[in-house]
Chain A
Amino acid sequence: MRLGVRIAAGLSSIVAACFSTATLAHHSTAEFDYTKQITIKGTVKEVQWTNPHSYIQLLADGDGGEKTQWSVEIGSPTLNINMGWRKNSVKVGDVVTMNLSPARNGKPYGTLRVLTFADGQTLEGVAARVGAGPSGAPPPPPSTKGP
Chain B
Amino acid sequence: MTVRPDRWGLALCAVVLTAVCVLKSADAARTPKGAPEALLGVWVPDAAPRALLTSDGKAPPLTSEAAKVHAERRQRLAAGDTSFDPTTWCAGPGMPRILTMPYPFEIRADSNRLAFIHGWYRWFRVVDLGAGTADPPLPLTMGFPVGHWDADTLVIRTGGLIDATVMDASGLPHSEQLTLTERLRVLPDGRLDDRITIDDPENYTQPWQTALTFHRDATARVTDDVCPDRMARGEPAEQIAVSKTTASRAKPAALRTAAVAAESAARAPRIAGVWEPKTFGFMVPDAPLSSAGQDIVTRNAAAMQAGKIMQTAWVSCRPGAVSTMTMPREKIVILESADEVTVLFEMPRMVRRIRMNASHPATLEPTYVGDSVGRWEDGALVVDTLGFNGYAELDARGQPTSPKLHTVERFKPSADGSSIDIETTIEDPEYYTHPFVINRSWKKSAARHPFEYDCMENPRQEDFENAYYVRERYRPICMRVEGEGVALSKMVCAVRNRALQ
In this assembly, does B295 line the interface, its C-beta being within 8 Å of a C-beta of chain A? no
Provide the residues of chain A in CB contact with B393, threshold 8 Å.
Answer: 147
Chain B residues 474-495 with CB under 8 Å of chain A are: 480, 482, 484-486, 488-489
Nearest-CB residue, chain A, relative to B138: A81
Q: How many inter-chain contacts with C-beta < 8 Å in the A-B complex?
A: 131
When each residue 52-87 of chain A gets 1 if its CB lies under 8 Å from chain B and 0 otherwise, what string results? 111101010000000101010000011001000011
B residues 437-454 in Cβ contact with A at 8 Å: 451, 453-454
Q: Is the CB of B282 within 8 A of A51?
A: no
Which of chain A's residues 17-31 have a Cβ closer than 8 Å to chain B?
Answer: 21-22, 24-28, 30-31
Q: Is the Cβ of A146 less than 8 Å from the Cβ of B327?
A: yes
CA distance A60 to B314 in the complex (A): 34
- Of all chain B residues, the one with the shortest Cβ separation from A85 is B138
Cross-chain contact B138 with A87 (CB below 8 angstroms):
yes
Residue from B138, B307, B329 within 8 A of A146 (CB atoms):
B329
Task: Flag if A5 contacts B330 (CB, 8 Å).
Answer: no
Interface residues on A, range: 35 or more
B interface: dominant SS: loop
Contacts of B328 in A (CB 8 A): 21
Closest A residue by C-beta to B176: A87
Q: For A12, list chain B residues within 8 Å (CB).
A: 281-283
Cα(A29)–Cα(B462), bound, Å: 11
B457 near A147 with CB under 8 A, answer: no
Residues in A whose Cβ lies below 8 Å from that of B282: 12, 24, 143, 146-147
Partner of A71, one of B312, B451, B460, B488: B460
Neighbouring A residues of B186 by C-beta, 8 Å: none
B345 CB → nearest A CB, Å? 13
Using known A-B contacts A46-B488, A77-B138, A87-B139, determine if residue A24 contacts B329 with beta carbons closer than 8 Å.
Answer: yes
Which B residues lie within 8 Å of A143 (CB)?
A: 282, 310, 396-397
- Interface size class, chain B: 35 or more
Interface string of A104-147 (1 = CB under 8 A from B): 11010100000000000000000000000000001101110011
A27 touching B310, Cβ below 8 Å? yes
Does A45 reach chain B (CB closer than 8 Å)?
yes
What residue of chain B has the Cβ atom nearest to residue A19's Cβ? Answer: B280
- Within B128-165, the residues touching A (CB, 8 Å) are 137-139, 164
The interface centre, meaning the residue of A48, A53, A109, A142 with most chain B CB atoms within 10 A of its CB, is A142
Decide yes or no whether A14 CB sits under 8 A from chain B: no
Q: Which of B282, B301, B328, B454 has the most CB of A within 10 A?
A: B282
Does A16 make an interface contact (CB < 8 A)? yes
Other-chain contact of A138, B283, B305, B329 (Cβ < 8 Å): B305
Q: List 10 A-B contacts (CB under 8 A).
A: A21-B330, A26-B314, A27-B310, A31-B462, A51-B455, A69-B485, A109-B462, A142-B310, A143-B310, A147-B315
Give chain A's interface residues, CB within 8 Å of chain B.
4-5, 8-9, 12, 16, 21-22, 24-28, 30-31, 45-46, 48, 50-55, 57, 59, 67, 69, 71, 77-78, 81, 86-87, 103-105, 107, 109, 138-139, 141-143, 146-147
Apart from A53-B458, A147-B396, 16 more pairs, CB < 8 Å: A8-B283, A9-B283, A12-B281, A26-B455, A27-B310, A30-B304, A48-B480, A50-B457, A51-B458, A52-B453, A69-B484, A77-B138, A78-B138, A105-B465, A109-B462, A143-B397
